[in-house]
Structure 1
Amino acid sequence: MSLHPLISQLTDAEKATLCTGASFWDLNGVARLGIEGISVADGPHGLRRQEGGEADHLGTADSLPATCFPTASGLASSFDPELLARIGAALAVEARAVGVGVLLGPGVNMKRTPLCGRNFEYFSEDPYLAGELGAAVVNGLQDNGIGASVKHFAANNQEDHRITVSAEVDERTLREIYLPAFETIVRKAQPWTIMCSYNRLNGTYTSEHRWLLTEVLREEWGFQGLVVSDWLAVNDRAAGIAAGLDLEMPTSPDGPARVLAALESGDLDRADLDLAASRVLTLIDRAHASHGPAVVDVDVHHELAREAARRSAVLLHNDGALPLAATGAPIVVVGPFATVPRYQGAGSSRVVPTRLDNALDALRTALPDRRIDYFPRYDLVTAAAAAEAAEVIVFAGLPEDAESEGFDRTVIDLPADQLELLELLRRRNGRLTVVVQAGSAVTLPFADHADAILFAWLGGQAGGAAIADLLSGAHSPTGKLAETFPTDLRHTPAHTAFPGDGLTVDYREGIFIGYRWYETRGLPVTFPFGHGLTYTTFEYSDLEVTVEGDTATARFTIANTGDIAADEIAQVYIADPESEFARPIHELKGFTRTHLAPGESRRLSIELNRRAFAYWHPVKGDWHVEAGEFIVQVGASSADIRLAQTIRLDGDALRRRLTPGSPAGAWLADPDYGPPLRAVLSRAAGGLVGLLLDNPETNPGRYRMLQSIPLDRLGRTGVECDIAAIQEIITAATAPAPV
């Protein structure tokens, strides 16, 4: 990156001041040169603009009213990048209207465990889905003049001990699970800023992690923007600047002085400070250049929030209970969330909504010809009333203090009083529908006896009306789960290693999180990743996969075979059944959402790039596509695969560095030294080795044993072979290259 043209005119003190926040939400400018600072604000699903003297990180102080959209965990279940781009655009308009230049979001951390208190702010357990949706939000924001701040980079997957803990993660796991969403967003959207996290990564604070902030983020991925700290996340300011952390937030009374002292002592290179200050100036320029006037239409944005909540809700189960009939017997609605909805989580993302719908009022409006009785409590009085009703709708969910920034959950169960009521209602004869409002996966022990379950997530300010739209049949549910719903906390991937001891947390499950874990281990789940029903049915057919090099295109047909118009979300998974290294059963690598009228069919196409087939090779230190067979699967969920086709890719040639102790199998696979070694071994007295090499199927066990023996020890195993000839091959292969 070239330096900003004004850098040469700045004093060291001005540069140091630029690299430190001016206040809780504001960046410094350079008054001497007429450069005004800019303002930033939370948050990922709605603007939290605080004015006057009120400013806080915990979401307790008041803020200006703004549209509260569904949280990221819900939006992810829409599988709808176009919708998220529109939400990003709406957020940009609201930010511009109150003088904000950068919105602090989206959050794209992976859901390593359903216990993370901040899961409602994150999209998914799947990095491909999170990256595609995150890029859509960023493009929506930045195409409309507001910078994004993609967070929290990286491996910030818990709230307990988040400021002190070191996430111990091997590189393959980082590359395949915890970094790809950020990489996708950088490559597809070039966010103006990336926010580094609080935690340490393999012992080093991410705010001081040069490999992360410079070598990977900038040099590999080509990031051109600014890196900002999470609020109060800076440990060593000089080390941070040297590593690639440009801006410390919020204001720090001695921040500039610490930078100048490090410059004076030689602990900080002036070139690093110049680069950081240049990036701050560039961000300020971008914000001022695109910050035109904006007028917010709160009604239009509220309708967008309602649409988003509808498209995000997931119909998990339906045994004919939904949609509700327009006429009929009285309906009993139970639970406080019917009138006081759970619509967002707690912490820095908390929004003061412009208005707030509730489901009970909206349902009465949607069904004017049906009597709807309401009981707010989960108690025996309610149970007695509900026992006599033909139709009961229980609004369940997690209380607000269960899902928050700053701490993690300890259980994934719904509150006991809700579960007790639902158990009492098990033995009734009428229909039971359960509407769940929560920001992350919970156990659903009533799944086998409820007639319908609608998971509404934290649906934002219009979530109540959206629920009524879906229950009444005005719209069909179309969302699909962006995270797996386990049956038991003990089955979850990080159960024995979460949240660590406060100093370290070992990501011992590696790449196997979410559906990758459950399906590879054969563990039962209540509802799988990608699952979601509609009020119609869809048929998949005619899969055709064409291959070009190490890329492919999957084409298939979906038909609406029911009587109601709805959207279907088709998912494409890739399986690598014969990998050298352990890989999941399959991985999501494409999806598409399409609207179909009754009887309508459509031919769909999904491109699969090279990375769709690759894994991070720990020896090669790069992405690697194996030569051989892959299975392209098309499904309605990760567990409901409708179509599959096997293809063959040429893959990458992998040349391993050979040593005398390399196994015989590695030597035999080498294109240069394998053929002469095979010839030597085939001449072995007795012919056993030659027989195994020529016909491994005669004794596959012994063949594998032969392959595993270090070549320089082969002659000492009792197998007769020409040791001298083998040594000549070893010498030729390991000789130093000529200078």
Structure 2
Amino acid sequence: MSKKINLIGLLFLVISTVKAQNIPVYQDDSKPLEQRVEDALSRMTVEEKIAMLHAQSKFSSTGVPRLGIPEIWTDDGPHGVRPEVLWDEWSQAGWTNDSVIAFPALTALAATWNKDMSSLYGKSLGEEARYRKKDVILGPGVNIYRTPLNGRNFEYFGEDPFLASQMVVPYIKGVQSNGVATSVKHFALNNLETNRSGYNVNVDDRALYEIYLPAFKAAVTEGDSWTIMGSYNKYKEQHACHNKYLLVDILRKEWGYKGVVVSDWGGAHDTKEAIYNGLDIEFGTWTDGLASGLSNAYDNYYLGVPYLKLIRSGEVGTKELDEKVRHILLLAFRTNMNRNKPWGSLGTKEHADAGRKIGEEGIVLLKNNNNLLPIDLTKTKKIAVIGENAIKMMTVGGGSSSLKAKYEVLPLDGIKKRAGKDAEIVYARGYVGDSTGEYNGVVSGQNLKDRRSPEELSSEAIKIAKDADLVIFIGGLNKSDFQDCEGNDRKEYGLPYKQDELIQQLAKANKNLVYINISGNAVAMPWINEVPAILQGWYLGTESGNALAAVLFGDVNPSGKLPFTFPVKLTDNGAHALSEYKGGDEINYNEGIFVGYRYADKQKIKPLFSFGYGLSYTTFQYGKLTADKKQLTPAETITFSIPVKNIGKKDGAEIVQLYISDEKSSLPRPVKELKGFEKVYLKAGEEKVVTITIDRSALSFFDDKKHEWVAEPGAFKALVGASSTDIKSVVEFSLQ
């Protein structure tokens, strides 16, 4: 019997070995990816190759069924996986199992200044996308915060290229660890929404390379993002989705990118430019895939039948075609043909907790006179909560990042839950902003219509404010059109819906006023001197109410820092002081490299709140900055060390920021630039030495005449501080 069993086992071994030997190379995941790609490519017809270059539905492109190569499914969702839509329409598909965890917007993630939080964010999002069988998540966005009016700033990492670069890489790696590709967007120079498909950006090469490209370069060369998305706008009079300078000269040749370039939806405009200028997959040329009246209009996209006709006529060859398909096959082997990818998970408590933790770390305490916060429930027995944003769902709206959340804890509910029976919570709306409960086809179920007059609403709010021990006004922006929303930009820097007037009235009614700004953008605060406590609350996703309550009541010590500058007025921002900002056909970046705090430093303008600024419920004391050497050779690194001590009574975290100043340069340079940061956690009374190491790249600028990065020998300063304007210690050094 044992001999029979052994013979059967041997027979199975022989059969499996024969089968393994007969597996086509492209299906054998033991073979190198490049070999598999070339094998699959050699088996494909020209028609099959062309079919892979354009969409087959709103969010998918075809594979090669004959060879068992699956279609590729993409999905919007830098903050969570977007709900399913119909095949050829933007309308919701009506699924009941596509509700997700909504994670905080990327501005909130950037405000954590914590690379571990970015990794957690990416891993959690990737698990949700994998479970939903998505191959590509269309995000994250790394466009630079150039103006506070940009409707899409809430999806980005702020104004500084170094911060954005450091934060985007762990996010990418976290998502892609699940066998799901990221699609870093929008490459490049998409820094406003108005007329986004029509305007041409005029920017000098120094600003392009020093400000607008570094985060994309880091995403490609350090994060290895498997796809990258072009932007709608033009640059050098060519649309960015098939722009030779951006996609061929820089992305492919300078950076050596081997991944897939996808168009933004409707971002392709010309077949020959798309062929020769680096576009791989064309999505969404028409908003309705059946607009041409054909049975499959997708075949008539620029990279469809028009491309095939050019090949058949001999007008173009197949070299570019094969290169595009190589990129797509590599993507397929990394995602939908990767048999070792994890299963993922959806809507879990683990993901909700991750989102809450990220939100808590991202909340920024901007002002706290008289230690009004955290709320002391032994002394505060009646709390008035005022403002529409206390009860308005923010996981929906905003454009393509709109989500169908499994649940959303609203700020008012979070405050009530945390206060429990220790305090009475009363609510008044105060104003009506946006009462709609449906965005992008997602029905929130909210009906916030209110027929009362503005006078009645404000009177009610003032009345309850006078009776309360503490007033919490939760206002700011929302994700409606012309606010924090894709497609259009804000019309003004001030708060909408006459909130400024109401805040001033509330400040007169009760001196114990906390303002929570829900937004992804800076806003004007003409009442700044009248309001003792201010929190920047962002869009915090599913667990927003709980995250805000945790900071308000001191369960969490706030540690977020601003990823962009709050100017006092618009003309304190370089884009508005020096450039026309009307959404016309030509946008001139006249401020050059002087974006955000760089412009404020140069002009000696005091901001409302500085880049890198954020308070705590404890106090941190900085010691003296030292360097491990005084002179640096081009091949060396230099390490800076500074002791930081928590001299307060609460445990907390501080973000130690390193700025570099070039004392003498052949080209104009910013007063200082962020080149390092570390988030350090300290118990009350604890001290740690924070070290940050840089190399010559941190001292370099881009010489547009030589078209190369240059680190000139000479004197430099290292400045360490708690924000860009709160420098604690300085040390001099030189580059030989």
Q: For residues 535 and 622 of structure 1, do their structure 2 counterparts lie closer, same or farther at Cα, with a shift above 3 Å needed?
A: same
Secondary structure at the counterpart of residue 382 of structure 1: helix
Contact residue 57 and residue 348 of structure 1 kept, 8 A: no
Q: For residues 127 and 345 of structure 1, do their structure 2 counterparts lie closer, same or farther at Cα, with a shift above 3 Å needed?
A: farther
1:589 paired residue among 675, 687, 698: 675
The aligned counterpart of 1:510 is 592
The aligned counterpart of 1:549 is 633
2:602 paired residue among 495, 506, 520: 520
The aligned counterpart of 2:733 is 647
1:385 paired residue among 458, 464, 468: 464
- Summarize the alignment of residues 138-537 of structure 1 with structure 2, pairs less than 5 Å apart: 138-250=172-284, 252-255=298-301, 256-287=304-335, 288-289=337-338, 290-296=340-346, 298-319=348-369, 320-328=371-379, 329-343=381-395, 345-368=397-420, 369-378=422-431, 379-401=458-480, 402-428=483-509, 430-495=511-576, 496-500=578-582, 502-537=584-619
Q: For residues 354 and 416 of structure 1, do their structure 2 counterparts lie closer, same or farther at Cα, with a shift above 3 Å needed?
A: closer
Q: Deviations over 1:476-515 (max 9, x none)?
A: 1110000000111122211153445632111111011111
Alpha-carbon distance in 2 for matches of 1:52, 1:181: 34
* Larger displacement relative to structure 2 (246-255 or 597-606): 246-255
Q: How large is the RMSD of aligned CA atoms in angstroms?
A: 2.0
Alpha-carbon distance in 1 for matches of 2:691, 2:623: 13
Alpha-carbon distance in 1 for matches of 2:53, 2:314: 18
The aligned counterpart of 1:101 is 135
Q: Which has the larger radius of gyration?
A: 1
Q: For residues 181 and 62 of structure 1, do their structure 2 counterparts lie closer, same or farther at Cα, with a shift above 3 Å needed?
A: farther
The TM-score normalised by the length of structure 2 is 0.85
1:77 paired residue among 85, 98, 111: 111
Q: Deviations over 1:556-583 (max 9, x none)?
A: 1111010000111111001112211111
Secondary structure at the counterpart of residue 366 of structure 1: helix
* Larger displacement relative to structure 2 (469-478 or 58-67): 58-67
Q: Deviations over 1:325-352 (max 9, x none)?
A: 0223311111122222435651011111
Alpha-carbon distance in 2 for matches of 1:281, 1:273: 12
Contact residue 567 and residue 608 of structure 2 kept, 8 A: yes
Alpha-carbon distance in 2 for matches of 1:78, 1:438: 16
Alpha-carbon distance in 2 for matches of 1:383, 1:179: 48
Contact residue 238 and residue 258 of structure 1 kept, 8 A: no
Give the aligned residue type for 1:565. D
Q: For residues 213 and 59 of structure 1, do their structure 2 counterparts lie closer, same or farther at Cα, with a shift above 3 Å needed?
A: farther
Secondary structure at the counterpart of residue 461 of structure 1: helix
CA displacement at 1:215 relative to structure 2 = 2.0
1:630 aligns with 2:680: no
Alpha-carbon distance in 1 for matches of 2:318, 2:204: 33
Alpha-carbon distance in 2 for matches of 1:26, 1:246: 14
Give the aligned residue type for 1:391. L
Q: Deviations over 1:88-128 (max 9, x none)?
A: 11111111111111111100000111111111111110011
Secondary structure at the counterpart of residue 266 of structure 2: coil
Q: For residues 465 and 280 of structure 1, do their structure 2 counterparts lie closer, same or farther at Cα, with a shift above 3 Å needed?
A: same
Secondary structure at the counterpart of residue 434 of structure 1: strand
Alpha-carbon distance in 2 for matches of 1:58, 1:216: 38
The aligned counterpart of 1:579 is 665
Contact residue 57 and residue 347 of structure 1 kept, 8 A: no
CA displacement at 1:634 relative to structure 2 = 0.5
CA displacement at 1:59 relative to structure 2 = 12
CA displacement at 1:171 relative to structure 2 = 0.8
Alpha-carbon distance in 2 for matches of 1:285, 1:168: 39
Q: For residues 494 and 58 of structure 1, do their structure 2 counterparts lie closer, same or farther at Cα, with a shift above 3 Å needed?
A: farther
CA displacement at 1:554 relative to structure 2 = 1.2
Alpha-carbon distance in 2 for matches of 1:360, 1:599: 35
Provide structure 2 residue ranges, at least 5 long, that are not aligned to the other structure. Answer: 1-33, 290-297, 432-457
Q: For residues 75 and 58 of structure 1, do their structure 2 counterparts lie closer, same or farther at Cα, with a shift above 3 Å needed?
A: farther
* Larger displacement relative to structure 2 (508-517 or 58-67): 58-67
1:608 aligns with 2:725: no
Contact residue 408 and residue 542 of structure 2 kept, 8 A: yes
The aligned counterpart of 2:58 is 24
CA displacement at 1:158 relative to structure 2 = 0.8
Q: Deviations over 1:656-682 (max 9, x none)?
A: xxxxxxxxxxxxxxxxxxxxxxxxxxx
* Identical-pair percentage: 36
Q: Deviations over 1:260-294 (max 9, x none)?
A: 12223455331111100111111112112054423
The aligned counterpart of 2:31 is none
Q: For residues 344 and 586 of structure 1, do their structure 2 counterparts lie closer, same or farther at Cα, with a shift above 3 Å needed?
A: farther
Q: For residues 15 and 53 of structure 1, do their structure 2 counterparts lie closer, same or farther at Cα, with a shift above 3 Å needed?
A: closer
Alpha-carbon distance in 2 for matches of 1:8, 1:419: 65
Contact residue 441 and residue 485 of structure 1 kept, 8 A: yes
1:113 aligns with 2:147: yes
CA displacement at 1:524 relative to structure 2 = 2.2
Contact residue 560 and residue 598 of structure 1 kept, 8 A: yes
Secondary structure at the counterpart of residue 612 of structure 1: helix
Alpha-carbon distance in 1 for matches of 2:357, 2:691: 26
Give the aligned residue type for 2:319. A
Q: For residues 94 and 246 of structure 1, do their structure 2 counterparts lie closer, same or farther at Cα, with a shift above 3 Å needed?
A: same
Alpha-carbon distance in 2 for matches of 1:585, 1:341: 41
Alpha-carbon distance in 1 for matches of 2:364, 2:319: 52
The aligned counterpart of 2:622 is 540
Alpha-carbon distance in 1 for matches of 2:396, 2:662: 39
Give the aligned residue type for 2:715. E
1:34 paired residue among 65, 68, 75: 68
Provide structure 1 residue ranges, at least 5 long, that are not aligned to the other structure. Answer: 651-739
The aligned counterpart of 1:67 is 101
Alpha-carbon distance in 2 for matches of 1:207, 1:533: 41
Q: For residues 490 and 372 of structure 1, do their structure 2 counterparts lie closer, same or farther at Cα, with a shift above 3 Å needed?
A: same
Contact residue 331 and residue 392 of structure 1 kept, 8 A: yes
2:684 paired residue among 581, 598, 604: 598
Q: For residues 546 and 262 of structure 1, do their structure 2 counterparts lie closer, same or farther at Cα, with a shift above 3 Å needed?
A: farther
Give the aligned residue type for 2:722. A
Secondary structure at the counterpart of residue 182 of structure 2: strand
